[in-house]
Structure 1
Amino acid sequence: MRPALVFIHGIGGARDSETERASWLEALAVGARKAGHSSEGSALGQNSFTDTAFAYYGDLFIRPHAQGGTAPPDAAGEDKVLRQLLEEVIDTQLLACPGEDERRVLQHASAELTATRQAQGSGELVRRLVNVCTTLLALPGIRRGGQWASGRIMAGHLAQVTRYLARGEPDDDGRMLDERVCDRILGFLDEDRPTVVIAHSLGSVVALEALHQHRGPVPLLVTVGSPIGMRTVVRPRLRPQPPATPNCVGRWLNYWDRDDIIAPRPWLERDVLPNTVGCLPVSDRVDSDGIWVHTATKYLAQASVAGPVMEAMRLAAERPSA
């Protein structure tokens, strides 16, 4: 039986699914060749031994008349959660013994964040949080990477995490934003054949929750740049509680980069319970080249990430049909 490979993206603006799928496959093929899987890596782009899909849900976050398709939080409580998220990111980065320039920027952002506690009204708090993000854009990695054009866009993209976890924003049928996102992901999962899932950033949160509703086999779940371990903002708001490995998952590998500011607590096995077959996430560090290391393609081009994916796909392809 041909296995499936599903990519689940993280925060950000609008994307073209086919372009993104090709980009992720190209990066995975690079990592596969580094890991000694040259033939499988070459076959990835041709869908010759697996069917691949890019599970896009970013359009569900788009707010009308918002710059870049998104905007900072505008619902009660979202702004305070965004402040907590920024606080955890900044504090964790300060503990990581950054260089002098990075420390200076982080301390300035921390001082601005402290001042937000005196902000009067949601509008004022949002304005100050945008200022904090503008300060963080001065971090060498973010600045040279060009990930965000402004603090407002950065705040809007980070706020996608808080909006998802807020369990609000109902549509005309009363379905909340997080439900619609999970339903979108479940639409890419086939219960009749094994599926390897690779989830990045916020996508790892979405994958964790969606897979609890999935009944088909997932021989391997790979999470990269995941915020699941953020103990202030993310972990307490996950569903179900306490966080646990979905029962459909046979193996879970979690990868983090020391310079990835979105994955401040990388050891997910300390924060997640095993499923019924005893599967826990296993975390491993990678060291990516370049400036901005949070992108999914940086992770996928690593041999330590791509190798287990190729092995899981091969074993799934050899598995007899039920």
Structure 2
Amino acid sequence: MMQLLRVVPAGITHPFGDHRAVTQAFPAAIPSEQSDPFLMCDSYASESKGVQNDPDSFDVAWHPHRGMDILSYLKTGVGRHGDSMGNRETFATPGMQWISCGSGIEHAEGGGTPKGELISGFQIWINVPSEQKMADPRYGTEPPDAIPQVELSPGVHARLLAGNLGGSSGPFQTVQPVQMIDFELASGASLLHEIPAGMDTCMVYVYEGEGNIAGKPIGPKSIALFNASSDATRMFELTANGATSDSVSGAGGKLCAMIFAGNKLKEPIAWHGPIVMNTQKEIQQALHELRSGTFPPKRVEWDYRRLATRTEAEL
């Protein structure tokens, strides 16, 4: 079994600079040096204010990214997305939308869930190697039936988001090798999981329910960090205690946890809001492009913020 280093509560952050808050497993609870290559995991749950009728309006307005891979994984609600590559899509949940940002994208999200319904999910960022930070961007939208689901043992259900599990591969096409799995354990069920050889980062984020991990208690919105430095020890055990009143998915009486396993990059990080590079000079270059209107360098020819400008040939 891998050595459990610590279990810590997730932090609370305000990514929009206003009253809206999210629960952040990392870097708020686990610093970037230890979560490497994983940069950020925000989880949230809120009641929808309704569907946006204007095709160019989104709950989260247009904003840029460069130098990371991004996953928007929704457990409930209706996903909705637009970006500078010309993509405009909605998707059912549990489903996801992902972008390997590369040299840059602008995107906007939200506004697809009917009023009063619960929107819950995760925004996850993964760092990429320096030589890939300026690659052309890539994109995918994955409905529920595109995410492999596996019953690993009685009462243990897995959705494979990225990487490999058995003979299946997750649809999130990350640059840096990772394994990301969303586990749901019924009351009293146990999971024994072995992370892939060579991956030297392993974290388990319990976002709903209570249980034990590596023999230690873990509550909702807590993250466990393991020592994954040795290929001789690859396994951990997670057991669900039972029902909890702190329900994110609305289906209480179980434990829900996300595993993050990956290969550390061990590269310098220069981080400025939605831009993650290796040096401050690269950050300044991105900011210059944003100010001059040349960001993102790869984009559709029509005004991607205004759907009506898309030509018939591009429909």
Q: Same fold (TM over 0.5)?
A: no
Q: Relative to total residues, which structure has the larger helix share, 1 or 2?
A: 1
Indicate the structure whose relative CO is greater, using CA pairs within 8 Å and at least 6 residues apart.
1
Aligning the two structures, in what range does the TM-score lie when normalised by the shorter sequence? under 0.3
Q: Relative to total residues, which structure has the larger strand share, 1 or 2?
A: 2
